Amino acid sequence: MNADNTSTVRPERTERLKGRVALILGAGTSAPGISIGKASSIAMACAGASVAALDFNVDTAQDVTQEILAFGGQAIAYQADVADIVAMQAAIERVMQDFGRIDILQINAGIGRVGGPAETSLEDWDRIQKVNVESILIAAKLVAPVMVKQGSGSIIGVSSVAGMRYLGYPHLAYSVTKAAVIHFIKMLAQQYAGDGIRANTIVPGLIDTPRIQKNVAKVFDANADMDKTRRARDQQVPMGRMGTPWEIASVATFLASDDASYITGTEIVVDGGLTGKFV
């Protein structure tokens, strides 16, 4: 696998997830490049899964599915706002019509706005809460019964190290909701363990995704210069570099597979050593 997040090099083809259907929420990208959702969709398709790629922007979901179809994988794009239960119910009904089952649910959609209490409007707070946390409730309401009926399933939440510690700048609403993701997934794991459903959270560190340019670049450089931003973020990490979406996608594929059959109710931190730093 190539570590360059803009690379078209995909993970190797395997049958690790053969016969399974993966529903990826937030499968598209918010700007040019490869997001965690897109990388996870491609990685799971490379592992043999059929992918239901769902995004608010259906064009970006279709970009993902076209890339998967181009290398012989199976994928269909769906459009829905993950915070809208009516839209999500309709989309998941279509997924069930198309594929007949859902074996993997990756809850990847997430938004944020830099700022502390003074800079965070109630409107922004509510929207970030809905997309980052309420979407998990909606997805669980709709997908968990499907997995219970099947007697198996893997639910994967995507949090952030911002939900575990302060990263040097105020990112209040995002950080609080990402902390909630970890605990929410723990609760799902306990409730559904007896039904053959596993639920775990990936906690990415500083990852080089399109979201950086849209949301946090100005924290590091007033002109949002991406070269300066990348250098500054690289220097924060003990390993000397940000992670790539592919490195998160490989963990997602592991958690979705039988290799993780005895792992539930926990989180895997993928951060190059960041959260282990004293300062």
Q: Which residue has the higher pLDDT, 85 or 277?
A: 85
Q: Kind of pairing, strands 197-204 and 104-107?
A: unpaired
The DSSP annotation for 4-21 comes to: -TT--PPPPP--TTTT-E
**What is d(CA 214, CA 208) in angstroms, rounded to the nearest whole number?**
12
**What is d(CA 128, CA 219) in angstroms, rounded to the nearest whole number?**
19
**What is d(CA 175, CA 211) in angstroms, rounded to the nearest whole number?**
15
> Please, how many CA atoms are within 13 Å of residue 54, restricted to the half-sphere of its CB?
26
Does residue 123 surpass a pLDDT of 80?
yes
**What is d(CA 173, CA 249) in angstroms, rounded to the nearest whole number?**
25
pLDDT at res. 6: 45
Ordered by start, the domain boundaries in the chain are 21-269
Tokens found for residue 205 = 């560190």
The DSSP annotation for 169-207 comes to: S-BHHHHHHHHHHHHHHHHHHHHHGGGTEEEEEEEE-SB
Does residue 40 surpass a pLDDT of 80?
yes
Nearest in space to 256 (alpha carbons), one of 132, 107, 109 = 107
Nearest in space to 22 (alpha carbons), one of 1, 38, 43, 44 = 44
- Are the beta carbons of 203 and 269 closer than 8 angstroms? yes
Query: Helix crossing, 245-256 with 36-46: angle to 10°?
Result: 50
CATH topology of domain 21-269: Rossmann fold (3.40.50)
User: pTM for the full model?
Assistant: 0.92
State mean pLDDT over 200-229: 81
Neighbours of 75 (CB within 10 A): 24
State mean pLDDT over 188-205: 98
State mean pLDDT over 70-90: 97
State mean pLDDT over 184-206: 98
- Structure confidence by residue, pLDDT tens digits, 129-153: 999 999 999 999 999 999 999 999 9
Which helix (H) or strand (E) segment is 156 a member of?
strand 153-158
Q: Which residues are catalytic?
A: 174
**What is d(CA 94, CA 106) in angstroms, rounded to the nearest whole number?**
17
**What is d(CA 91, CA 79) in angstroms, rounded to the nearest whole number?**
7
